[in-house]
Structure 1
Amino acid sequence: MHTLQIIKGGKELSEAEKALILLHGRGASAEDILSLAAHLQLTGFALLAPQATNHTWYPYSFMAPVHENEPWLSSAIDIVQQTTAAAEKAGITKDNIYYLGFSQGACLTLEFIARNATQYGGAVAFTGGLIGDRINPHRYKGDFKQTPVFIGTSDPDFHVPVERVYATANILKQMNADVTEKVYANMGHTINSDEISLANKLVFNRQR
């Protein structure tokens, strides 16, 4: 399935205090999502952006039945796990590991952290939700211990129904995440400057 190929930026892992794992959208690249880092407050961060095979993490809509996106989805989740393990091997603890994704990468971000909930540094999902034709709470376990999570989206969005965003936020809140969701009227399938500002304020530059 997917082969681990990580494009890096920021500080060297061996010198970094924190790590940010960035997950690109369908049809995009690791380099594309890395370019977003220039707009984020990431002093002291190592940046790790894995590349999906054929620029797609899984073949169908994130709202399709989970089995239809297999085995690509499980392989994608494993790539995120391997990228996380690379940061941990360099001595960065989970509470200093952050996640960010856009669109398909946002869905993968949320699915990964919900399946492996613990106290992370934080997570940002630009237009995404938990994966599947319906949310199965039994798939998700752990305690986020107030990990800050920001989810931004448009209403409407052609790919991501706002109802799934709200349902996702509720699941994460039940798992003790500190979730902020922000819905923008008719924004389109993109990232706006307010989302960037909120990601910096609520997640990357949050005072502990």
Structure 2
Amino acid sequence: MHTKNIITAGKKTTEAKKALIMIHGRGGSAEDILTLANYLNVKDYALLAPQATGHTWYPYSFLMPPAQNEPWLSSALSVLKEVVDDVVADGIAAENIYFLGFSQGACLTLEFITRNAAKYGGTVAFTGGLIGDQLYPENYSGNFNGSPVFIGTSNPDPHVPVDRVKATEKVLKDMGADITVNVYNNMGHTISQEEINWANQLVFK
């Protein structure tokens, strides 16, 4: 399973008013995803990036039945829960906690916030959707109370179908998220400057 290994940057959680939890993709690293902060309006934030054991959060595609990605998926979700609990314990309220993920990390981020919906500061998912061979509404709980969510993705994307992104949008909207989804034709499996601009405008404002 995943060991709790958190790389930090920015302000200390005990000194910052806001925290951003950054989730890397398959084959990536906490250090990699932290470099994105250089392009975001987060200079006063505490930055926390968990490192997946073996550089992957779960072994198979996010579109497989969840049981096939166990016990790694549950372990990854529990790591995120621990990070959030630690940030709250250091005095930062949920409404000042932000999330960002790319690819596999975006899928994990969206799955986590939808299972634990609350009025967070906001969420940015660069190429991601809710996890499973289908959506499992019984796993989702809470209300986002207008928390902003931005999802950007390519059409097509080799890993994340646009129809899953759209289905994810509907679930989050129904749970009270103020969600914006941008689909870019033939962008490729990457993060664009335009997506970063939208993230700053909608979430890190």
Aligned residues: 205
Q: Which residue of 2 aligns with 1:103?
A: 103
Q: Which residue of 1 aligns with 2:48?
A: 48
Give 3-state SS (helix, strand or coil) of 2:180's partner: strand
Runs of 5+ unmatched residues, structure 1? none
Runs of 5+ unmatched residues, structure 2? none
Q: Which amino acid aligns with 1:174?
A: D
TM-score by length of 2: 0.99
Deviations 1:24-73 (A, max 9, x none): 00000000000000000003200000000000000000000000000000
Q: Which residue of 2 aligns with 1:201?
A: 201
Give 3-state SS (helix, strand or coil) of 2:181's partner: strand
Q: Which residue of 2 aligns with 1:62?
A: 62
Deviation at residue 110 of structure 1 after TM alignment:
0.1
Q: Does residue 20 of structure 2 align to residue 8 of structure 1?
A: no
Deviation at residue 13 of structure 1 after TM alignment:
1.0
Structure 1 residues 67-76 or 136-145, which shifts more? Answer: 136-145
Q: Which runs of 4+ in 1 moved over 2 A?
A: none
Alpha-carbon distance between aligned partners in 2 of 1:15 and 1:121, rounded to the nearest angstrom:
17
Deviation at residue 136 of structure 1 after TM alignment:
1.2
Deviation at residue 139 of structure 1 after TM alignment:
1.0
Q: Does residue 129 of structure 2 align to residue 124 of structure 1?
A: no
Q: Which residue of 1 aligns with 2:170?
A: 170
Deviation at residue 146 of structure 1 after TM alignment:
0.3
Q: Which amino acid aligns with 1:45?
A: Y
How large is the Cα RMSD of the aligned pairs?
0.4
Give 3-state SS (helix, strand or coil) of 2:108's partner: helix
